[in-house]
Structure 1
Amino acid sequence: MRYSNRRTIASIAILFTLLLSGCAVTPPVDQSNICSIFREKSGWHESALDMQERWNVPLYVPMAFMQQESSFRSDALPPRRYALGFIPWGRVSSAYGYSQAKTETWSDYLKETGNWGAERDDFADAMDFMGWYISKTQKVNGISVSNASAQYLNYHEGWGGYRKRSYERKPWLKTVAARVGDRSETYSRQYQGCKQSLPDGFFERLFSS
């Protein structure tokens, strides 16, 4: 019941913010500090708490993923593919949105969770997707939900690819995974210092501002 109430309030908060901003969703200014992100983006903290409560995944892990994958851009797309080196020929993958979820994986998420109205360019939905994926990685490959580096390798390579250690052929990916792990730890330390001061709901934020 608490998850449902949080989700409703978060959705109202995000809708209200979009109306005030002319429906322009811009990335947070200071992406190096999770406290600054949550203070700038109304409703994001509530959505992250919803994900954490539902999937038992510490919110700073998917936040670190999201910063790496899309820099918190709702309409993020993968690089273009070019024919003959200069003719645009689609994208390198079907990844889209905050989480850069591929169409096939997103479809699996929708089927398993029944969250049929979810959209990849919605922050709350993207966070819930990441929580689902990270939680499932723990079940499938035994990776702790707090191990951001190993979780990111699963996120990038898929569960089968991780078991086959496909990342060993990609030194650049291991570097990125280590960076994500470092950011997750930084976000964790920052969050421990500010979580008590972050408004816990839209109306609390409205009347405390």
Structure 2
Amino acid sequence: MVEGNHRFVDGAPRHPHQDSDRRSSLAAGQEPVAALFGCADSRLAAEIIFDVGLGDLFVVRNAGQVVGDTVIASLEYAVSVLHVPLIVVLGHDSCGAVATAIDSIGSDSAPGSAFLGGLIDMIMPSVERAQLDLETGADLDPRAVGHLHIEASVRTLVDRSALISSAVADGRLAVVGANYDLANGRVDPSVVVGRL
């Protein structure tokens, strides 16, 4: 994945595993090399930024990469059934969900729906943690909040899933939190739980 991201950043992608032979070979089953849980932002297409193809990644996405029950269940499937040795939790700069959470501080207006409000509520602990780290009167840095949210997503995933936590403890799985830089395309790991 690291090499594929380097190719993408350098503008020299190979576009592997994207032909009819690959499609046919996967019809009977899949053996992805990793699971990726990321933000649903349209600028964050996992197979493109890691220069991989069909069957290479088991991808789960939602706005703001918030860890909920269906996310945990999907990633547990990847670990227990597909035997992936790696989960990447991928956030990015300029995340709209993170910005909405920051903007909601002190706001009396609802975020538009109970569902969206619930999603924002799951990001708020990272916003509150960033506020604690600030000097009085300083503005919140969305990038810093985003990095804290990536860490929180990794921690929540490992803490809430006994199956994932056990796989990490047994040395069968690593969970890596990383940030995608929209401007240059680089993925920078920041949190590693388990052995790679």
Q: TM-score range by the shorter chain?
A: under 0.3
Provide the TM-score with structure 1 as the length reference.
0.25
Per residue, is there more helix in 1 or in 2?
1
Provide the TM-score with structure 2 as the length reference.
0.26
Per residue, is there more strand in 1 or in 2?
2
